[in-house]
């Protein structure tokens, strides 16, 4: 069976930085990043943090992003933050 490309993502620079909330407790990189104001349908972001670049992907609605190569601790923090927002709704 031949692979089928479903979507292709093109790099676009943002005209202005969106509003960002993030996990400030993790030492190496944020376990989650909440981004408001991205173009609709954005699934991946490249984030510069402490002189390194990390790739994040959104798995849930609401602009909440998780590192692509997340650890067990990061996924726990991600869902804890998601649950706080869910409880408010």
In a domain, 10, yes or no: no
Domain count, the chain: 1
Q: Does position 56 have pLDDT exceeding 90, yes or no?
A: yes
The parent domain of residue 83 ranges over 19-88
Structure confidence by residue, pLDDT tens digits, 2-44: 877 777 777 777 888 889 999 999 989 999 999 988 888 888 9
In percent, the amount of the chain with pLDDT more than 70 equals: 96
Angstrom distances, CA of residue 89 to CA of 52, 55, 83, 85: 35, 28, 10, 7
Give the pLDDT band (50/70/90) at residue 89. Answer: low
Q: How large is the average pLDDT for residues 57-85?
A: 89
Q: Is residue 1 part of a domain?
A: no
Mean pLDDT of 53-80: 90
CA 8 to chain centre: 18
> Is residue 2 assigned to a domain?
no
Spatial CA neighbour of 29 closest among 50, 43, 10: 50
């Amino acid at each position: 069976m031949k692979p089928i490309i479903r979507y292709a993502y093109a790099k676009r620079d943002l005209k202005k930085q969106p509003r960002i909330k993030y996990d400030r407790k993790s030492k190496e990189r944020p376990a989650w990043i909440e981004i408001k104001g991205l173009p609709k349908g954005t699934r991946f972001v490249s984030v510069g943090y402490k002189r390194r670049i990390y790739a994040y992907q959104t798995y849930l609605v609401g602009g909440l992003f998780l590192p692509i190569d997340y650890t067990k601790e990061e996924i726990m923090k991600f869902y804890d933050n998601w649950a706080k927002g869910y409880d408010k709704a």
